[in-house]
Structure 1
Amino acid sequence: MRYRVGRWPLVGREGELEEFTAASQDRTCRGFLVYGAAGVGKSRLAEECLERAAADGSRVGRATATAAAGAVPLGAIAHLLPAGVDLGDPVAGFAAVAAQLATGRGEPQRVLLVDDLHLLDPASAVLLRQLMDAGAVRLIGTVRTGEPYGEAVAALTGGDAVRRVDLAVLDPGRTGELLAAALGRPVARHTVHELSAASGGNVLYLRELVLGALAAGDLTEDGEIWQLREGRLPGTARLAEVVGARLAGADPAGRPVLELLALCEPLPLADAESVAAPHAVAALERAGLIRVAQERRRTTVSLAHPLYGEVLRAGLPVLRRRALLLEQVARTEARGARRRGDPLRIATWRLAATGTADPALLTQAAVLARHAHDYARAVALLQAVPEDRHTTATRSLLGDAFFEMGRWAEAETVLARADRLADGERETLAVALVRTTNLLWSNAPVAEALAANDAALARITRPVDRRKLKINEGFIRIAAGLPAQGLALLEDLETDVGDASDVDAWLRGAWMKPAGLALVGRTHEAVVWAERAHAGHRRVDERALASHPAFQRIPLVLALTEAGRPAEARRAGESAYAELVAADSVVRVWLAVLLGRTEWLAGRPATARRWWAEAAALARTFDHAMALRLVLAGLAACAAVQGEPEAAETALAEHRELATPEPGLLSAGEERLGEAWLLAAAGRLGEARSVLLAAARTARATGHVTGEALLLTDVARLGGARQVADRLTGLARVCDGELVPARAQLAHALAADRPERLLRAADACEAVGADLLAAEAATAAAAAWHRAREPRRAAAAARRAATAVARCEGARTPLLTTAGAAAPLTAREREVALLAAVGNASVDIARALTLSVRTVDNHLHRAYAKLGVTTRRELARTLGAEPLTARPQG
């Protein structure tokens, strides 16, 4: 997709536009003014208001006030004045202008937009105010906050007849909406986070950052989502000029403060005042270039915008940079470096200034950085430690930081060396816990992670430490897709981290145990354990060598979803994802995977596709094949039910190119969903059911109880309800949530084809947030009532179905289309009709279904008669199907 540079859409300003509409309808209102800092989008909002006024029939004009025009009386608005008016006498001249611009009864109103009103000359301000008071014009204006202006402009902008709105910067959510609207596709959450943080929500800065990233090829899209290359955020020359001009207006006496903050922010106020006089620091605050914050007895200073630091650093000579950093080190050490984060700050500054620092200080700082989840800084500090000063502990720390950044190969190199050099059982255990996790996440066979764990077990004799490795094995086996085996090893895991002999081992077990419980259908226990693990992790985070505490929300999302509580899963998952994005932790990929799955099960394919696209982009970036295979299948399934077979086939083509790994978490069967739903979209329901049944057998063999229930439910939805209803009932007996029983109820209702039972199934599905299942059940009920010649009941059921369908983001499934046709098609007639509707010839249908061509034509003829159509085009229209341009490969 090629991005075209142009005017950006207006996003996130709905409230302000409503205020303008209200002001336009108020006869007493003469002006509408938009206040805000430079670059927040004042002009864009004002232009939208002017366009709305023009659309309502007003006569419009516009002007821009500038410093140059402000030196000339009426210079900014001269082009708007009637020709031939003598302004030599301002009193008479202004009255003449008002008379000529006045509108008679029934004539359209005159609306003027004046940008940057604060720069307007006094004569223009006085004239505009007179025109407003006379009702000759209505003013739309923009005013930059913090800028001085004279009495005339103050009079123009004051009074009850003028309405004011204050425009704030965009928050991250609105920034994401704007980026998606401007770029035409969703934008990865991490990219939104980076652009929002760098721009500070300033629309002008944001646009220049995007244009710079596009020009550099650092902002790209894969057909589903836009993503910024890791560690890259280039701007444009215009951005540097705009920010540079803002900084150039600062008092020269305060320049050293700005330079020091660019390298070392935030700083104590006393340090800022040590390089510039207090009045110079105060002047910087008045100019909006720095922020001063008070927290208890501590006052800190920081730059007012992230880009100020970027521009200042780019202009600092090397020796000036070195001097500033070392002077700040000296100031901090002179105070005794008593604050907890001082070693991290000092080490970072020394390293930036000289390229080296004391190894003990570097190590201490790296520990602080790791526990703050600043993995990139931890790596930089540890890589600066001389090789002969590294220990097993520092190598484990470095390997762990590499893992969190998704740098699997580098992590394995460091950790394998640490394992060889480990001295004693304690060091062996510490390395094993980190190394097995890295192996598990990389594309290495699961057997390698288990072998590394067994090798450590063979070297350890203390029972308490051997038990930690058994917990670690349980973690590995559940993550590898063997929940029953893993749960057996975690059965006696302490219920609280405070009772554990090792917090790192406990956190691993407590992370994966609720995932295993959810997969075997013990969802209530899973939710309790996930909440317990999260709370425990928060308590010990500052001393645990484990991922961010938010990663404990990953199994919670899975457990809540399988319990039939998708709304809660959504809230918990989205909040945790924001935390993991801010920490830049690669483990967020699995949270995106599970949030996509939650939305898929809720019947929201567009939102599911958005999450799975994010997970796919992240998995490609870090070469995480286990997650990528799963999300590509999900992307294909979403595209298929959205009527986009080409996109589905593209995802499946990439899926087929990946090397087949051993089964992993959720991949036991569910990775065939895309294949099945693309076949279903093509009308090949029998083949789709065969794929799903084979996938369900895989899930059953590996103990994925809830996964098997998901797959069998889809078999029922695609015409195989009688085949799977009893098995679903059996699964419902071993699952303690409400989701699987609702699925079993749906399958039995579809098998019986009884409208009352179908509506009860719709109720059950709706109660667990499965809106698409509820819509299909209600649609099938409407068709059944129609066949029973009960039009009122059929209409009521159809209305019920329509309400549910409206929540399903345009999903199109065979059950919705064929049942919605409200005709008594048999299962075989429905299958033949769907295949014909998407463009298959009778001979191809016969081959696919192992029937004769004559039998196919007979089925098709009966379907035509029942549906009241005579051509395949009419058949496609009736069933809501579209011809396929890409054929699934069965």
Structure 2
Amino acid sequence: MSGHDSGEAKNAQTASVRTRLTPRPRLVGREMMLSRIKAELAASDRAGVVLAGDAGSGKTRLLQETSAIVQEQSGRSLTVHAGPSTQARPLQALAGAMASAGLPIPQTAAEAGGVISREHRRRPLLVCVDDAHFLDPATGALLAQLARERRCLLTLTLTDNLPTSHEVLGLWKDGWLCRLPVTTLSESQLVAVCNELLPQPVEFTTAARFAILAQGHLVVLRELISNALESGILTRNTHGMWADSGDHVGARLQQLIAPRTEALSETGKLALEALSLAQTLPLTAALQIADSTAWEELESHALAQVEEGPETAEIGLANRLVGRVTAWNVPALRRRRLLRQLLDAFSPDQHPGRREVRFTLWRHETGQDVAEGELLASARRAWWSRDWTTAHALAEAAWRSHGSPAAGLLFSKILSHEGRQAQAHSVLDALASSPDPQVAVAAQSISSRAKIMRSLPVAEEIGEPLGLLPDALTCSPQKPDMRSAHTLVSSDLDKAVHAFISGDCRTAWGAAQPLLDDSDPLRVAVAGAVALPALLKMGRPKDCLGIAPRLQWAMQNLEAADLPDYEILNIPVLTCYAEGITGRRTQAVARLRTLAREAAASRNTTLASRAGLVLARLLFEQGDVAEAHRLFCSAGGNDDLPLVQQFSRAGEVITALHLGEAHLKEAAQLRLEPYVNDGPRPVDIDLALAACDMHDGRRQSAVKRLTEAGRSALEHGALGELSYVVHALTRIGHSETATVLCAPESQDIQGTVDRIRIAFAKAVAAGSAKDVAMCAEMFEQAQTPLYAAEAWAVASRLRQLAHEPRMATAAARRCAKARRGYHGFPTFLLYAVEEREPLSNREKEIALLAAAGHTSQEIAQRLVVSPRTVDNHLYRIYRKLGVDNRRALRTLLNQHSDAQ
């Protein structure tokens, strides 16, 4: 590493250490739980609730939120922190809490009860007890008495599977308190928490790995992020996102798992180490490592779990984090000894699939002489089984041990898909200087194709057309040369790639289509990777599904021949998206989640980010604006392909506007700006810029921008993109302009929602309430609640104009029902029927100050809040009142004053 690089790394690590996690991030995924708590506290037959769950599941945070709810309702709370140190002394924890709250310090339980009763009579008092299983019997008995006599409200937290006194158990067993189970958060919710804990977005692959390791526990998640910051592996990348650069287990994580492992016997610890290295073991192999007592010990401590297989039982890790920390801390010599034991423990018939791949890696780690061909063959098998971490390790071992062109080319592809472009190009540069001209051309070919995809200039000194790799460098030595009879004439493929990058999807499809009938599966697969996005832009997802069997044939043949090519990884992602927009949305979302999770767990950042972006678009249309926004923000964090960055940044802007948060919108616009003119501009950029124009009151600018984008899409045959433009124009009140763009060929659009968009524009332009209502119902069936609500809003307005009040009211009710599925801010069309929300007292105060000419900074100083808080309030005020700026706000308030 050069001195400059070393300095940059040191600065990045210093910045990471200085970064502090948000002490109290926004609550995620607990909305229903808080509603239930509020209802139980208001119930006349209950004195409160008990929040019970696993350690680290977020019970303490819910306790804090419950306390805040009571205080907002003019009540008062008293928080008691119980623990092992207070358990032996009666009333110690309660007395300490009362003293901190400025209440008289009680000497007896009767005195404590009297003080609490008096305070509750003055105004509602909520007694919050954290870790109530540590309460002493005297305090437990007092709380039981207070609950029976309704002398205060109570909220307690309990950790499951820990001993609890009879007095505390009686609180909910006797029905005085309602016991509410606090379940662990889902992985997608923990990804959201990651982005709340740090000041900038967390790259999707990094956040997903943290979420997988945390297994739903918030405390574990905080420690994982803190450990990564302290070790310097979590830093901000070139896109301004937090991304980890590897694995590191510091003291924090070791201390976190210590209570789970320190009580194990020596044989139990040995068994855990072996299992952590192997991940899974057949029971027969496990018993050769340690006796059954050791494995039963791990099972009793919830560190191992047994799954019955068709032939033999399998023992696997029950806790990923414990396995990761344990494997990291195994000393080098003992690791070698354990790996040799593992190799000896398996019989020859126990080496199928992924386990055989891992054996190759173990043999290399233990110093055995592993042939290059075996390393590369195992790397390719790992790639096809989606174990990209093992594929990386094997390819790297082959490259460092043998340095051959085949190893270097495979390793460079793996590095590229992990987002490590600099390392990938370093390997390719080494190969490009090879004295073998075939090797040099192959390396230059890969680099040049990457430059085409990234819209960068390509060196002209390459002696032959860009194409796939020479046969001798890519085929497995154990497999026949599937492509010896076909040398790819790359001009067709290059033409398809160039056309697609420049936005001409019709030409791209025309160039790629003939290659789909080729007998060479690699040629078919790579052509398919261009054909699918081109067809999607053209509005032909059914045709995507039509060529899917052909692409599946190609991938199966490539797998059989051990010929991985990373350009084809987009095929399953785009096929899922095609399924989603042709009516199988639920299945597509589930498959994309699985694909993104597998890729993130194995550090395939490119596949994970692209699956995440496609998932974000489907989720946004389903109404889940917040998760879509998080995915748009964090996906693509290590992907430097301009199209991916443009797509993700545009999506971030649009979802930020739908969330109604001014600071999110400002941040998104800043992140979009560098990509607006970064190569050919896709329609997503114009949609985002037009949305910003509308938000800032520049409607004519939005109309002009969208009209030009629509004409460009029509020119290139991008009918799928055209449907988005037509819909956007209709949604801002310009359906007539939209219908002008609906050329006759728009009838050939295949996507379910795309067809409804076109039909909706035509129905609105024609003023047909019946047809608009029909579109609304179709939007509902397509699981797009926002679009359905907007269509019902238009139908209601048209019914009112036609003097049909009953049908107008019915449509308004349907609008409100559909609106409940959209978790975002009201849009332009929804204001047609939605009643304007009244301003809160704080919003009225800020509105009057702003109308009087005060700046945000002046208002912030007067109200003792931050300027950003003022801007957020102003943003909501503008949306509620239907104005765009302070001048319009002043005019509206003056008119209202005159009317009064």
Which residue matches 1:201? 216
Q: What is the distance in 2 between the residues matched to 1:281 and 1:315?
A: 20
Aligned pair partner of 1:247 in 221, 242, 261: 261
- Distance change in 2, residues 1:570/1:301 (3 Å): closer
Task: Supply the AA of the counterpart residue of 2:414.
Answer: A
Deviation of 1:229 after TM superposition, in Å, equals 1.0
- Distance change in 2, residues 1:149/1:348 (3 Å): farther
Q: Does 1:552 align with 2:565?
A: no
Which stretch has the larger CA shift, 254-263 or 115-124? Answer: 115-124
Which residue matches 2:376? 363
After superposition, what is the alpha-carbon deviation per residue over 1:111-155, rounded to whole angstroms, capped at 9, x for unaligned? 866655655667877887788889999986555445567999988
Which residue matches 2:273? 259
Which residue matches 1:613? 633
1:783/1:820 contact within 8 Å kept? no
Aligned pair partner of 1:703 in 717, 736, 740: 717
Deviation of 1:730 after TM superposition, in Å, equals 1.5
After superposition, what is the alpha-carbon deviation per residue over 1:513-559, rounded to whole angstroms, capped at 9, x for unaligned? 34333333434333443477569858975756245998434334554
- Distance change in 2, residues 1:581/1:342 (3 Å): closer
Which residue matches 2:847? none
- Any gaps of 5 or more consecutive residues in structure 2? 1-17, 474-480, 837-850, 854-881, 896-900
Which residue matches 1:526? 544
Which residue matches 1:853? none
Q: What is the distance in 1 between the residues matched to 2:215 and 2:92?
A: 34
Deviation of 1:199 after TM superposition, in Å, equals 1.9
Which residue matches 1:485? 507
After superposition, what is the alpha-carbon deviation per residue over 1:253-279, rounded to whole angstroms, capped at 9, x for unaligned? 533233333444334445555555543
Deviation of 1:728 after TM superposition, in Å, equals 0.5
Over the matched positions of the two proteins, sequence identity in percent amounts to 23
1:65/1:117 contact within 8 Å kept? yes
Which residue matches 1:587? 607
Deviation of 1:193 after TM superposition, in Å, equals 2.0
Q: Does 1:517 align with 2:535?
A: yes
After superposition, what is the alpha-carbon deviation per residue over 1:421-448, rounded to whole angstroms, capped at 9, x for unaligned? 89999x9999999778645544445999
Which stretch has the larger CA shift, 580-589 or 568-577? Answer: 568-577
Q: What is the distance in 2 between the residues matched to 1:327 and 1:124?
A: 54
Q: What is the distance in 2 between the residues matched to 1:563 and 1:339?
A: 38
Higher relative contact order (Cα pairs below 8 Å, separated by 6+ residues): 2
SS at match of 1:291: strand
Q: What is the distance in 2 between the residues matched to 1:635 and 1:769?
A: 21
1:478/1:512 contact within 8 Å kept? no
2:629/2:655 contact within 8 Å kept? yes
Task: Supply the AA of the counterpart residue of 1:631.
Answer: S
Deviation of 1:625 after TM superposition, in Å, equals 1.7
Q: What is the distance in 2 between the residues matched to 1:97 and 1:644?
A: 46
Deviation of 1:350 after TM superposition, in Å, equals 4.7
Aligned pair partner of 2:419 in 406, 413, 421: 406
Deviation of 1:68 after TM superposition, in Å, equals 5.0
1:483/1:703 contact within 8 Å kept? yes
2:642/2:679 contact within 8 Å kept? no
SS at match of 2:305: strand
Task: Supply the AA of the counterpart residue of 1:483.
Answer: C
Task: Supply the AA of the counterpart residue of 1:519.
Answer: K
1:731/1:740 contact within 8 Å kept? no
- Give the alignment of 1:48-197 within 5 angstroms: 66-67=83-84, 69=86, 116=131, 142-147=157-162, 167-179=182-194, 189-197=204-212
Which residue matches 1:679? 693
- Distance change in 2, residues 1:159/1:287 (3 Å): farther
Which residue matches 1:735? 749
Aligned pair partner of 1:465 in 459, 483, 486: 486
- Give the alignment of 1:4-19 within 5 angstroms: 5-7=22-24, 11-12=28-29
Which residue matches 1:308? 322
Task: Supply the AA of the counterpart residue of 1:689.
Answer: V
Q: Does 1:631 align with 2:631?
A: no
Task: Supply the AA of the counterpart residue of 2:321.
Answer: L
Aligned pair partner of 1:622 in 639, 657, 660: 639
Aligned pair partner of 2:708 in 694, 703, 709: 694
Normalising by structure 1, we get a TM-score of 0.71
- Distance change in 2, residues 1:693/1:72 (3 Å): closer
Deviation of 1:801 after TM superposition, in Å, equals 5.9
Q: What is the distance in 1 between the residues matched to 2:741 and 2:456?
A: 35
Deviation of 1:355 after TM superposition, in Å, equals 10
Task: Supply the AA of the counterpart residue of 1:674.
Answer: A
1:551/1:580 contact within 8 Å kept? no
2:719/2:746 contact within 8 Å kept? no
SS at match of 1:385: helix
Q: What is the distance in 2 between the residues matched to 1:553 and 1:65?
A: 52
Which residue matches 1:884? none
Q: Does 1:287 align with 2:301?
A: yes
Task: Supply the AA of the counterpart residue of 1:199.
Answer: A
Which residue matches 2:362? 349
Aligned pair partner of 1:338 in 317, 336, 351: 351
Deviation of 1:806 after TM superposition, in Å, equals 6.4
Q: What is the distance in 1 between the residues matched to 2:563 and 2:324?
A: 34
Which residue matches 1:230? 244
Deviation of 1:10 after TM superposition, in Å, equals 5.7
- Distance change in 2, residues 1:602/1:685 (3 Å): farther
Deviation of 1:401 after TM superposition, in Å, equals 1.7
Task: Supply the AA of the counterpart residue of 1:613.
Answer: C
- Give the alignment of 1:799-878 within 5 angstroms: 873=888
Q: What is the distance in 2 between the residues matched to 1:132 and 1:600?
A: 45
2:693/2:699 contact within 8 Å kept? yes
Aligned length: 817
Q: What is the distance in 2 between the residues matched to 1:531 and 1:404?
A: 25
Which residue matches 2:524? 506
1:63/1:77 contact within 8 Å kept? yes
Cα-Cα RMSD: 5.9
1:668/1:704 contact within 8 Å kept? no
After superposition, what is the alpha-carbon deviation per residue over 1:450-474, rounded to whole angstroms, capped at 9, x for unaligned? 93129979x9998962579688568
- Distance change in 2, residues 1:557/1:290 (3 Å): closer
- Distance change in 2, residues 1:20/1:409 (3 Å): closer
1:351/1:357 contact within 8 Å kept? yes
